[in-house]
A = this chain, B = another copy of it.
Amino acid sequence: MSEVSLQPQQVRDAVRAALAEDLGLAGDITTNAIIVADVVGEAVIAARQPGVIAGLALAEAAFCELDADVRFKAMVTDGDAVQPGDIVARVAGKTRALLTAERVALNFLGHLSGVATFTRAYADAIAHTSARICCTRKTTPGLRAFEKYAVRCGGGMNHRFGLFDAVLIKDNHIAAAGGVSAAIEKARGAVGHLVKIEVEVDTLAQLDEVLRHPVDAILLDNMTPAQLREAAAIARAVNPRIILEASGGVTLETVRGIAETGVDLISSGALTHSVKTLDVGFDFQSETLF
């Protein structure tokens, strides 16, 4: 996972916004009233559930933003699997900074690790096939870059980032253009040479029509495994290099069957729109840890 990375500015901006949301104008009135400014302390961040970690850079930044001298020592790497009790990171610095940033750090870490953990479950279920699990644009507003990063940490692939970086032609576009052919031609004429074109189809009849045109990928929506298998056979016969994506009805129960149909990608909005946080605890301690 070591090559996956977030931009520093992106991390800083997101953490600052989250801290501002939690601190308001008046700050942590409990901690500031009770904890003396110069006291230092240490804490351990540990997993309370099995899962896959993602978002360590955001957790670290939350503490450092409040105390530039905080030492944050990650004991695992984003993408690593953890078991209950596993130490994820140790953090030492001003006690005020530790207690005040704790919730923001855990909110990011828990949410993104939740995404990675869910993704990993899908990825493991289809590891015996050549299919890959992949996210969608059904992300939490404001967190897309981080959630797509967490999907990669979990072993998934990223679909397009937004409306701007690839063409995905759906039924409304086709209807408005007056047919698949016109829609594809219009798109091809308007976008740059490094933009790929994918077309969504619901039926084998639509698939046949799309295959008459030069497209890069086809999204097979809401088909049964049997239909997917047939669609894959038809498509590969016409264009062996076409990319086939399946979507609709994807669950941990169904994903294996879908993957075995021979599609390249299986996309699921649930990876990012229905996230269960990974339970990660923050244990403040008095002994020196590192």
| Residue positions of A touching B, CB distance < 8 A | 2-10, 14, 16-37, 39, 65-66, 95, 99-100, 103-104, 106-108, 110-111, 114, 134, 137-145, 148, 157-169, 172-173, 175-177, 183, 186-187, 189-196, 198, 214, 216-217, 241, 243, 245, 264-265, 269-270, 273-277, 284, 286
Contacts and interface: CB of A to CB of B under 8 A. Distances in A.
Nearest to A165: B165
Contacts of A190: 3-4, 29, 32-33
Give this chain's copy count.
Answer: 6
A36 B186 CA distance: 11
Contacts of A165: 24, 26, 161, 164-166, 194-195
A7 B24 CA distance: 10
A26 B144 CA distance: 10
Contacts of A241: 214
Contact of A265 (B29, B39, B193, B196): B193
B164 A29 contact: yes
Given A10-B25, A190-B3, A138 B107 contact: yes
